[in-house]
Amino acid sequence: MIGKGGFGNVYRGKLPDGTIVAVKRLKDGNAAGGELQFQTEVEMISLAVHRNLLRLCGFCMTATERLLIYPYMSNGSVASRLKGKPPLNWITRKGIALGAARGLLYLHEQCDPKIIHRDVKAANVLLDDFCEAIVGDFGLAKLLDHRDSHVTTAVRGTVGHIAPEYLSTGQSSEKTDVFGFGILLLELITGQTALEFGKSSNQKGAMLDWVNSLSYSYGTVWFQAYDLIIHESYSYGTGFYSGQEDAPGEEARRACRQGTRKQLRPH
């Protein structure tokens, strides 16, 4: 087993021709409604074909099993690589952010009906052989009719990544994913996942609350949030940062993480 998702576990497998794949085994595959759940997910994934989205290679459905077959991502997830060796440098992290943004944009604007992911986080952004971002795990996503701006349903997602209005109303939209993307940017910048954040003595509370408190004291204090590797690859001495401009990813991070001010988040 190589991972766990909202709908089941993920295993590494090998096809007869030697191709390495990732097999997602859905939970409760033989339960009532399991077939419909499986068919819905297959339909949803088949609509989304983009270089920054995880491609569905095939599926298997029996009386007791529901399996989805994906390409195997050799570099794991962003969450695993943030703490891995070698560490991700700033250029790679910036590329991951851009790739994930392109994948989400495709889901929101080029799929018909549109797809809302609803669980955007570092663990759900995979990395291919070239460390290019591949957005995966559509188990929590819902297809939306292009005529509707939201859907009311049970709140699903990961603690620390759920937009406030989605948590309180159960209504999700593109801006739900934008909020999650803002948290992903913070994870890329700090080198920590939102769930891990707050364990050390100088980081009490949620990641978003802590970073918001830093942003009010602009300048040197903001660099407390940076992962050390960003200091090394994006330093004052390289000429890439003048000290007068926004820090790496700050403008996008500031816009995406608008909490209760949903209307201020970019689309």
- Provide the 3-class DSSP secondary structure of residue 140: coil
- Point out the annotated binding site: 24
By annotation, the residues acting in catalysis are: 119
Distance CA 191, CA 202 (A): 15
Paired tokens of 41:
């997910």
What are the φ and ψ backbone dihedral angles of 28, each rounded to 5 degrees? Answer: 50, 45
- Provide the 3-class DSSP secondary structure of residue 216: coil
Q: Quick one: which H or E segment has residue 235? A: none
Q: Quick one: which H or E segment has residue 155? A: none
Q: Quick one: which H or E segment has residue 126? A: strand 125-127
Verify cis geometry, omega within 30 degrees of 0, for the bond prior to 266: no
Paired tokens of 238:
């390289």
β-sheet bridge partners, residue 8: 5, 26
β-sheet bridge partners, residue 133: 127
Per DSSP, 138 falls in state -
Verify cis geometry, omega within 30 degrees of 0, for the bond prior to 71: no
Q: Quick one: which H or E segment has residue 71? A: strand 66-71
The alpha-helical segments, DSSP class H, found in the chain are 34-46, 78-82, 90-109, 164-169, 174-190, 207-215, 228-233, 250-256
- Point out the annotated binding site for ATP: 24
